[in-house]
Structure 1
Amino acid sequence: MGASLVVSGASKAFGGVFAVREVDLVVEPGELRAVIGPNGAGKSTLFALIGGQRAPDAGAVRLDGVRIDRLPAHRRAQLGVSVVFQAARIFPRMTALENVMVGAHTATHAGFLAAAVRWPAHYRSERLIVSRAREALARVGLADWSTRPAASLPLGQQRALQLARALCAEPRLLLLDEPASGLRAAERDELAALLADLQQEGLTMLLVEHDVGFVMRLADRVTVLDLGRVIAEGTPAEVRADPAVIAAYLGDRQGSAA
């Protein structure tokens, strides 16, 4: 079951200028929530506050009621938070399978001693991780690429590889930072279908994305930021028709949506 995410009064300033200011956001278990906004709206900063790359100056981030905004990234991962960044973060000299296996590091409990002396618990854990990594590669369409060096994969496949690594951790909350950026139309369609399947399985997702069309066909609800503040929130249809959103992001002040 997916986790609930609650952001309350989150603020972050740089040099006295607020990138995010008093943002409230509630994502229900199993919901696919999108965050959109024009350049400089604060989307990336909000994503970093939730994902753990930055700490808020004020406010809190809670996962199932547990405050996580001061926890390091590995502790958030242990609680079920997986992050897919806009830039594909891979280990270039490792194979695709080895890259994905890294995502399961929070699932193994065999410990260092078991690995050092090759106890049976280590082998069981290793087999489990390999099995999960192969399954995750298959989910993103990379089953045939498992033995290839990650650096040899095209950009679209490197993005898919990062998503597979996140799924290998069996997350309860998946954070995606502009996952459709730079993808071809067919690749965007495949990604949209996968995210829809993951939601059907109950995974909670927060999607930060520039591609409005991609967002509108996927998201249950959309939060719109402008100048670090929430200016609108609702279903895709409600947000698309909101005059403040049209003026700030989707089109001109006469209401022609982009």
Structure 2
Amino acid sequence: MSIGEGGLPLLEIDGVSRSFGGVRATDDVRLTVADGELRGVIGPNGAGKSTLFSLVSGHLTPSAGTITLDGTRIDRLPPHRRAELGVAIVFQGARLFPGLSVLENVAVGAHARTRSGIAAAILRTAGHRREEREIFADARDALERVGLGEWVDAEAGGLPLGQQRRVQLARALVARPRLLLLDEPASGLRSTERRAFEDLVRELHADGVTVLLIEHDVGLVMRLADRITVLDLGRVIADGTPDAIRADPRVIEAYLGTGDHHAAHP
């Protein structure tokens, strides 16, 4: 049994639709992610993957349906409230603060769990200083975890893309997420960087991190995911283990039978 199978649901997407000018980018999508699971979402261009990601992250709201995290509805909450509830995001673009160090970029990820208010920060109270020390210690630990422990003082904007993606991942981890959202994390990476990032995600999953991975690289998803959901034209056309997805005739017709077919094999 893979991690998450038979576990309690952490994320539930129930009948979620989102329309743009009368066109449904997602159409009655239903998806459950168990606690500790790595769930992959794949589909051809225009399938609705990016829209679904934005609906879960809070950058879009559904036209219909609900999204719950551990039983709490989040579909009407802004992104910062979802972050406070434990949703952390690694976007396709780097989204780093180029003028800050690697360590400072990662420490920013802890804002969702800070307890000191703005007044405490301005006044530099003892409680704020203690919390700040804890945050930077956690940021160093997160950087060690992603293999960047020696880069804490480097300027983040000067790093290669593969390392910038790791900085993003460390920033997400320092928030101690309940759910880690990965949006096309392999996009733009060279083959060696892609393999290294894949290994890192596999390690985090083995440590019990719950992951929703939305990715165009079918082979990467097939190798990493416990279960895979396939979208086509905004609708779920298949849902199951990697082996079941490979053999599903609807998936082969809609996606794997295209020029991407070669990517389906690890």
TM-score range, shorter chain: over 0.9
Counterpart code for 1:28: A
Which residues of 2 match residues 39-78 of structure 1 at below 5 A? Answer: 39-78=45-84
Partner Cα separation in structure 2 for residue 111 and residue 232 of structure 1: 46
Identity across the alignment (%): 61
User: In the superposition, relative to structure 1, how do residues 256 and 218 fare at CA in structure 2: closer, same or farther (>3 Å)?
Assistant: closer
How far the C-alpha of 1:105 sits from its partner, in A, is: 0.9
CA distances 1:130-160 after superposition (whole Å, capped 9, x unpaired): 0011111111122222112111111111111
Alignment partner, residue 233 of structure 1: 239
SS in 2 for 1:222: strand
* 1:3–1:204 Cα contact (<8 Å) kept: no
User: d(CA) in 2 for partners of 1:98 and 1:180?
Assistant: 24
Pairwise CA distance, 1:257: 7.7
3-state SS of paired residue (1:106) = helix
Q: Which amino acid aligns with 1:176?
A: L
Structure 1 moving runs of 4+ over 3 Å: 255-258
Q: Residues 3 and 153 (structure 1 numbering): CA distance in 2 closer, same or farther, change over 3 Å?
A: farther
SS at 2:112's partner residue?
coil
Q: How many angstroms apart in 2 are the aligned matches of 1:41 and 1:113? A: 46
Contact 2:217 2:263 in 1 (8 A): no
Alignment of 1:1-258 (within 5 A): 4-251=10-257
Contact 1:3 1:172 in 2 (8 A): no
Contact 1:36/1:209, CA 8 A, preserved across alignment: yes
For the structure 1 residues 256 and 219, does the alpha-carbon distance in structure 2 shift closer, same or farther, using more than 3 Å as the test? closer
Counterpart CA distance in 2 for 1:206 and 1:194 is 15
In 2, Cα distance between equivalents of 1:257 and 1:122: 49
Q: Normalized against structure 2, the TM-score is what?
A: 0.92
Tell me the C-alpha RMSD between the 2 structures.
1.8
In the alignment, the residues of structure 2 paired with residue 110 and residue 26 of structure 1 have an alpha-carbon distance, to the nearest angstrom, of 34
2:219/2:263 contact within 8 Å kept: no
In structure 1, the residue corresponding to 2:113 is in which secondary structure?
Answer: coil
Instruction: Return the letter of the residue paired with 2:220.
Output: F
Deviation at 1:250, TM superposition (A): 0.7
Distance in 2 between the 1:166 and 1:256 partners? 32
Range that drifts further, 222-231 or 154-163? 154-163
| TM-score when normalising by structure 1 | 0.95
Q: Once the 2 structures are TM-superposed, how far is the Cα of residue 256 of structure 1 from its aligned partner? A: 8.1
* Shift in Å, 1:112: 2.2
Q: Which moved more, 1:65-74 or 1:151-160?
A: 151-160
Structure 1 Cα separation of the partners of residues 62 and 9 of structure 2: 21
Q: 1:129 to 1:3 in 2, by over 3 A?
A: farther
2:41·2:228 contact (CA, 8 Å) conserved in 1?
Answer: yes
